[in-house]
Structure 1
């Protein structure tokens, strides 16, 4: 005889064709519900993880993670940079000078944030040099007035490498003809593509060229930092400022992109909760399925009891049956979810290209990212299996309480 007997009978009940097709249908619906719930939950968590990763790696790889600036131009910024670099959480430093303006070319106008940089140092704090599609940031040299722009910006203005573009600064210059904006023509020496909103909003020029435009001595407005932990940015920036003389102030990415990161975290939590409810409903379908099975199998239960089966044996039989439904549904959902998470980015890109859609142009990146974390898969599978197991307890205990005499009275 197959041992244990409860496992044998439970598996046989699961495989057997029931005379009541409605019960079989409810069991199938429970299994499908678990499969879809687990698959969708894994897929959505992977997409939210993808947005979170792209924000950290791409957007925060371009914008300053933390900065220390001064109200006065820093002509001796290398000394400040060396002092900042000694902090245990700082992995790279670079000088910067920022200015806002508009680019004009071929009758088109676009707003832009321009950063004056030293290419040698910028590579220590930014990922721009890894995403150059044309040209090189090393072409940004003092007095040559070259500019590096994002691909979205050059496409919007109809420009390409080595074309000229005019930068218009908001600061007005008095002249005999009245007050006019300040203009300066630049040559495009590089084009980068990050695949995020920074492609259409950021530009780079030589640090000393920025000082010239602002009519300031050669130097920098401040020093930006790259950290080993971006979540320590406010703390690190404040610690460094406290060690510096009066006149310095700190800023970090939480001021510029903190709301976006918080929104992603909140959306991930809320969407996960809503999808978890789908798994919960599917698990409770197991309860209704097993309750009807118990009612349908009263005579079998009574016969087993008269043959010496204990209430605990009866309990285990139906717990095995419900657990099998949960295990099969959960594992099928996990496999489907992993396949979906790994392929959804390519699928959406294919659909966008096929139908000419632009589904993500309004977001901070222009594509759908997906990043599968196996710990999320394990968590989802574990929670689903636990819910499936808990859902079997009530029907199984109810089956164990059936009295043989009562069940066989009308047989």
Structure 2
């Protein structure tokens, strides 16, 4: 009943044309606000997925590292038990330390990460190669896959293996040679086999090579490693598998899921999304002022109808609900229209890449978008709450109208 009255009042011709204009202006403002919210949230979702996919290429599902210090001890029996944990897909042992790369007078600090043959099963770095092959060589004849930033700084064509790089790594337990730091470092030649490109944080800081080579350079024992990286068969079960590994290894080991390895990143992205949502909701609040004006003038227009309804037995609550429903109707029309407009724009962007990214320094050359159903529900709920608040005063005024039939 309330909706029928509200729909009739919306469609009916008004004595003053300004009422119609203000009503449609309020609907249009809500269309713009809803479309803006959906579009910006969809672009944010697209960038969020892109960033997560980039970090997923480098970070494993689960990582085991020492609680303190650089290295941990894993016996052959512990490694065997880790591989047998239910849900573990593959396990790769790594040895990592910070060193220096040199090529014809160019020097670059880098993290030298030694990996075993299973590394490509727990990491997506092998799928991010821009040049060459993913080959780490052997302990005696190591090869390296360089991050694109390091390769460019050193001026190396990593896939051609023309001249080996010089690699310097600190020996564990070496004396303090403050006057000559190189005296406390091991130096060997390192051939290159390829170049990866993931994201600036990795491209400018990491080199992937053979684990036995790094262990020998640093001076690690047979059972000593920097950590272990694991893939899981079902990512949803990663927290459960983490608990099983924690119980298996006991104290002295830090076990982290992919989310925990990048917790600050995920927290920042979540916070940014809510900030964007709150800021853009101000557009809808501005639209609500138009709605207050439209409903106030509608109450003035329908004073005779209110008097008749009250004379027929309608109470104040019914009158108030009619005009609250009128406000929700305006908001619903604007919200649905805005969502449809945003969906059309997003579909066109996905298919035709209409809006490019400027600068040419990104992995993609267009704005990524991703439509998420919960965003639609969030926007509609926000519009509904704002519409109720905006309709409350005009509806209360309508309900307070005394009966005055003449």
Fold-level match, TM-score > 0.5?
yes
Q: In structure 2, what is the Cα distance between the partners aligned to 1:127 and 1:401?
A: 67
Give the 3-state SS of the residue equivalent to 1:92 in structure 2: strand
Structure 2 residue 9 is matched with structure 1 residue 13? yes
Are the structure 2 counterparts of residues 212 and 347 from structure 1 closer, same or farther at C-alpha, using a change threshold of 3 Å? same
1:113-154 C-alpha deviation (Å, 9 max, x unpaired): 1211113x1122111122223333245334322101223332
The answer for the alignment partner of 1:188 in structure 2 is 192
Are the structure 2 counterparts of residues 114 and 72 from structure 1 closer, same or farther at C-alpha, using a change threshold of 3 Å? closer
What's the C-alpha RMSD, in Å, of the aligned pairs? 4.0
Q: Does structure 2 retain, via aligned residues, the 8 Å contact 1:36–1:333?
A: yes
Moved more, 277-286 or 342-351: 342-351
Give the 3-state SS of the residue equivalent to 1:95 in structure 2: strand
The answer for the alignment partner of 2:371 in structure 1 is 372
1:303-337 C-alpha deviation (Å, 9 max, x unpaired): 6666x483576556534432331111101221233
Among 63, 76, 81, the alignment partner of 2:59 is 63
Q: In structure 2, what is the Cα distance between the partners aligned to 1:55 and 1:231?
A: 22
Moved more, 203-212 or 22-31: 22-31
Counterparts of residues 79-118 of structure 1 (less than 5 Å): 79-88=77-86, 90-105=88-103, 107-118=105-116
The answer for the alignment partner of 2:384 in structure 1 is 385
Q: Does structure 2 retain, via aligned residues, the 8 Å contact 1:103–1:112?
A: yes
Q: Does structure 2 retain, via aligned residues, the 8 Å contact 1:97–1:211?
A: yes
Q: Does structure 1 retain, via aligned residues, the 8 Å contact 2:135–2:193?
A: no
The answer for the alignment partner of 2:218 in structure 1 is 214
Are the structure 2 counterparts of residues 377 and 323 from structure 1 closer, same or farther at C-alpha, using a change threshold of 3 Å? same
Structure 2 residue 204 is matched with structure 1 residue 200? yes
Q: In structure 1, what is the Cα distance between the partners aligned to 2:314 and 2:49?
A: 54
Q: In structure 1, what is the Cα distance between the partners aligned to 2:84 and 2:379?
A: 43
The answer for the alignment partner of 1:155 in structure 2 is 152
The answer for the alignment partner of 1:292 in structure 2 is 297
Among 244, 247, 256, the alignment partner of 1:239 is 247
The answer for the alignment partner of 1:225 in structure 2 is 230
Give the 3-state SS of the residue equivalent to 2:230 in structure 1: strand
Q: Does structure 2 retain, via aligned residues, the 8 Å contact 1:51–1:264?
A: no
Q: In structure 1, what is the Cα distance between the partners aligned to 2:133 and 2:144?
A: 10
Give the 3-state SS of the residue equivalent to 1:137 in structure 2: coil
Among 141, 152, 156, the alignment partner of 2:138 is 141
Q: In structure 1, what is the Cα distance between the partners aligned to 2:38 and 2:282?
A: 14
Flag structure 2 segments of 5+ consecutive residues without an equivalent: none
What TM-score, normalized to structure 2?
A: 0.77
The answer for the alignment partner of 1:282 in structure 2 is 287
Are the structure 2 counterparts of residues 269 and 178 from structure 1 closer, same or farther at C-alpha, using a change threshold of 3 Å? closer
What TM-score, normalized to structure 1?
A: 0.76
Structure 2 residue 272 is matched with structure 1 residue 267? yes
Q: Does structure 1 retain, via aligned residues, the 8 Å contact 2:356–2:365?
A: no
Give the 3-state SS of the residue equivalent to 1:162 in structure 2: coil
Q: Does structure 1 retain, via aligned residues, the 8 Å contact 2:357–2:366?
A: no
Q: Does structure 2 retain, via aligned residues, the 8 Å contact 1:93–1:226?
A: yes
Are the structure 2 counterparts of residues 234 and 96 from structure 1 closer, same or farther at C-alpha, using a change threshold of 3 Å? same
Flag structure 1 segments of 5+ consecutive residues without an equivalent: none
The answer for the alignment partner of 1:350 in structure 2 is 356
Are the structure 2 counterparts of residues 28 and 349 from structure 1 closer, same or farther at C-alpha, using a change threshold of 3 Å? closer
Are the structure 2 counterparts of residues 98 and 373 from structure 1 closer, same or farther at C-alpha, using a change threshold of 3 Å? same
| Deviation of the 1:50 alpha carbon | 3.9
Among 322, 327, 330, the alignment partner of 1:322 is 327
Q: In structure 1, what is the Cα distance between the partners aligned to 2:206 and 2:269?
A: 23
| Aligned length in residues | 389
Are the structure 2 counterparts of residues 384 and 179 from structure 1 closer, same or farther at C-alpha, using a change threshold of 3 Å? closer
| Deviation of the 1:22 alpha carbon | 4.8
| Deviation of the 1:207 alpha carbon | 1.3
Are the structure 2 counterparts of residues 61 and 98 from structure 1 closer, same or farther at C-alpha, using a change threshold of 3 Å? same
Moved more, 387-396 or 206-215: 387-396
1:11-40 C-alpha deviation (Å, 9 max, x unpaired): 343245645455445433432332233223
Q: In structure 2, what is the Cα distance between the partners aligned to 1:27 and 1:156?
A: 61
